[in-house]
Chain A
Amino acid sequence: MVTKLSGPRATSKRSKGKNLRPVAHFTVPTWIFLFLTILIPFIYGIYISFLNINLASFLPASFIGFDNYLNVLRAPETWSTFQITLVITVFGLLVQIPLGIILALALHENLRGTKIFRSILITPMLLTPVAVGLTYRFMFDTDLGVLNWMLGLLNIEKVNWLGSQTSALFAIIIVDSWQSIPFVMLLVLAALTAISPSLYEAARVDGASSSQIFRNLTLPLITPTLLVITMIKIMDFLKLFDTLFILTRGGPGNATTTLGLWTYKTGFIFLELSRAAALGVIVAIISLPVYFLWRKASKGVR
């Protein structure tokens, strides 16, 4: 055992490490940058979550222990906005992942016009969420929007898309899906391309139908990619802000306010910086399991 460790493998590991050392030095500026821009603000955020900083109050901040956390956890808004975040996440995933898979399967068939179709499909990904939010806000407008104009042509009564919780959440999911489905599609397409065609040939020789091939071959092989996509999308939904802010500003009332938007309101509208920091830490804690699952799923993809 000892002989083995001090053998060629151990030597090559050492020399590999030695060879990498100069290269590793080049990453130092990046580490410093990340330390300054992510780690320090994060630690500072945790620190101020234990104080009572209110931007409108010029009194010196004092240490209040876990009061902010207790207040945040006791506030009904925290739970209602968390519920809204969950609803958007679950329904968003239910729309985006199946549609992304269907589009990827269609493109994978390499039918005529696939290249043009693919280019068109990825366009929404290239647009800024604010521009998308503004465009859709006009489209959803009750009196002047194109959607109600089309409904009018069919003699269907106008819908106030952003006026009730259900329809506003529906609108948010539609807009986010419009932008995110191409992302899902591209990743699934990459996973599909990586599957060896010989596996499909063998399945067909064995007499498997298309649905059997999808269920028993394609789906298991793209599952690690789907897991990665799911985790990325969950993190996206947890920090969903720009589209939501432009589209509904969390309204009507707080009916579409997510946990992220509530954190923003607490910090920048109510000026309760410490309470917002506590909320931010809670959001980070909620994200942690997702992050670990994502790492696990990423290994599966590799």
Chain B
Amino acid sequence: MWENPHMDMKGPAVLNSKTIRSFAGLVTASLLLAACSSGGSDSEASGEINVFLIPSPSSTAIQSFIPDFEKETGIKVNVSETPYGEAHQKQLLSYQQKAGAYDVAQFDNSFLMPFCQAKAMKPLDEYLSESSEYDIADFSQSQQDYGKCNGETLGLTLSTEPMIQWYRTDIYEKLGLKPATTWDEYYENAKKVQASGAEGQIVGFGPNVSWWWMTLVWSFGGSLYDDNLNPTVNTKEAIAATDYLKKLISVSPKGALTANSDEVTSKFLGENIGAMINYSGYYGSVLDKTINKNEGKIGTAPLPVGAADITHLAGWNIGVPADAKNPTAAWKFLEYVLGKTNAKRYLESGAAAIGRKSITTDSDLLAKFPYLAQLEIPASSRVERYPQIAVWPEFEVAAIEAVTQVLAGKQKTQPALDTLNEKLKPILAKEPKS
């Protein structure tokens, strides 16, 4: 048998009962100390919060406030950033385990419903009703509702990003065009721009085509499903919207067929394209000279109106998880960063704007960020946001597949949407009943 030649044969003899007792005592004392210190390091007592963020201009802006917040309140802020692709999965896992890992969490509005169904986020209405600093009345009703589920506010608005119309002021001026007010006008403008030698317009026909498709379906007076969660994607309105989207291909650059939303923006800002339909949150790219080759020539206007006047509202939410260890400090942090006092500073830190009335009507800010005017959602406009269903990801993939078939000319609109409608039935049937 192999033996360790370096083993000190006296070793075991040294571990006599006295030594073992002393060692056990030491271990017990250490454990007690550790337990006490862990109680002591409880985030509430020591004023520590863990903030979960998703890399974005909003996240960068939030982090720029941390040093001042820590200095003013003595609350230590730990940040953990997770890329979008895995952020919500990580949050869901954490909330399922009730680990209390995060006190503040940024999330996409499309995850509001799964979080709501799981009771994963703490309702913030009590804090909101008492906070003059946050001043919820500074938001229009539609924006107050943006983070609500079943009447409870589970997320504050971290960015207000409606789908809007973007256009090249130089091209439109030269051709005597005005931003379109209807979808017909939008197409006609694009045709005129195309005839002048530039590309008419751009939307994303690629992996995010669902964003534009559902905007058009709503705008043409249709819907994706009814109140009983029956799919309604093959109605005449949805067919007209899909046909219109297909018609736009003829006035778009070829690359739009595969472009995702980021690429749509970079093409619009870097190439010679008359107009674009995209979220207002991309205004940050307009200010980025490495992306925007058409500085000073970008204008914004409201989304053209179809059979229905709708606003497709998107944007980040941020809230306090139900299992947060230090919700009071978490609210203090949210109030500090997103409150009225620091609202201007937040915007100027590079974040996508939050549609506070005091921000969207500020003349200084409007001069600097003219797109802020588009964040004022008229009361007449019906606000549509990402479908508030837990099965949305599966729904969206099926919709993208069907719409892509139509856009590629592989299927006619009606049969493609009929098939999609059938396919969506079992998907929607899986939706947990609230």
A interface residues, Cβ below 8 angstroms from B: 22, 55-59, 141-144, 158, 160, 162-165, 248-249, 251-255, 265, 268-272
Contact = CB atoms under 8 A, between A and B. Distances in A.
A174 B397 CA distance: 26
A271 B206 CA distance: 22
B114 interface: yes
A134 to B, nearest CB: 13
Given A162-B258, A164-B408, A265-B397, A55 B207 contact: no
A141 B207 CA distance: 15
A271 B427 CA distance: 13
B254 A271 contact: no
Given A164-B408, A251-B404, A252-B206, A269 B397 contact: yes
B167 to A, nearest CB: 19
Interface in B115-133: 117-120
B397 A271 contact: no
A164 B206 CA distance: 11
Nearest to B270: A144
A175 to B, nearest CB: 15
Contacts of B2: 22
Nearest to B115: A56
Contacts of A271: 89, 92, 114, 393
B118 A56 contact: yes
Q: Give 8 nearest A-B pairs by CB, closest first.
A: A253-B404, A142-B255, A143-B255, A163-B257, A56-B114, A253-B401, A58-B118, A142-B254
A23 to B, nearest CB: 12
Given A142-B257, A163-B258, A254 B397 contact: yes
Contact of A142 (B86, B207, B258): B258
A158 B256 CA distance: 13
Contacts, number: 85
Contacts of B267: 143
A248 to B, nearest CB: 8
B406 to A, nearest CB: 10
Contacts of B114: 56, 271
A152 B220 CA distance: 39
A143 B207 contact: no
A254 B95 CA distance: 32
Best-buried of B86, B207, B403 by chain A (most CB within 10 Å) = B207
B397 A270 contact: yes
B155 to A, nearest CB: 16
Nearest to B253: A143
Best-buried of A59, A143, A254 by chain B (most CB within 10 Å) = A143
Contacts of B70: none
A55 B119 CA distance: 14
22 contacts: A55-B89, A56-B114, A56-B390, A57-B390, A58-B96, A143-B253, A143-B255, A143-B271, A144-B255, A160-B254, A163-B254, A249-B207, A251-B207, A253-B402, A253-B403, A254-B400, A268-B86, A269-B394, A270-B393, A271-B89, A271-B92, A271-B114
B281 to A, nearest CB: 21
Nearest to A142: B255
Nearest to B202: A143
B194 interface: no
B93 interface: yes
A18 B118 CA distance: 59
Contact of A268 (B89, B118, B119, B257): B89
Interface size range of chain B in the complex: 35 or more
A253 B208 CA distance: 10
A252 B92 contact: no
Interface in B72-92: 85-86, 89, 92
A59 B206 CA distance: 35
Given A251-B258, A255-B404, 9 more contacts: A22-B2, A55-B96, A57-B432, A58-B120, A59-B432, A143-B267, A165-B408, A254-B400, A265-B397
B250 interface: no
A249 B258 CA distance: 10
Contacts of A249: 207
A252 B258 CA distance: 7
A251 B393 contact: no
Contacts of B397: 254, 265, 269-270
Contact of A252 (B119, B120, B404): B404
A143 B254 contact: yes
A271 to B, nearest CB: 7
B140 interface: no
B254 A57 contact: no
Given A251-B206, A268-B89, A269-B397, A141 B404 contact: no
B405 interface: yes
Contacts of A254: 397, 400-401
Given A57-B432, A164-B408, A269 B393 contact: yes
Contacts of B254: 142-143, 158, 160, 163
A58 B115 CA distance: 10
B193 to A, nearest CB: 16
Contacts of A59: 432
B106 to A, nearest CB: 18
Nearest to A164: B408
A190 B22 CA distance: 65
Contacts of B400: 251, 253-254
A55 B255 contact: no
A160 B390 contact: no
Interface string B237-261: 0000000000000000111011000
A160 B394 contact: no
Interface in B410-434: 432
A55 B271 contact: no
A255 B258 CA distance: 12
Given A55-B93, A254-B401, A270 B118 contact: no
B255 A141 contact: yes
A251 B117 CA distance: 31
A162 B400 CA distance: 16
B404 A160 contact: no
A133 to B, nearest CB: 14
Best-buried of A56, A143, A163, A165 by chain B (most CB within 10 Å) = A56
Contacts of B119: 58
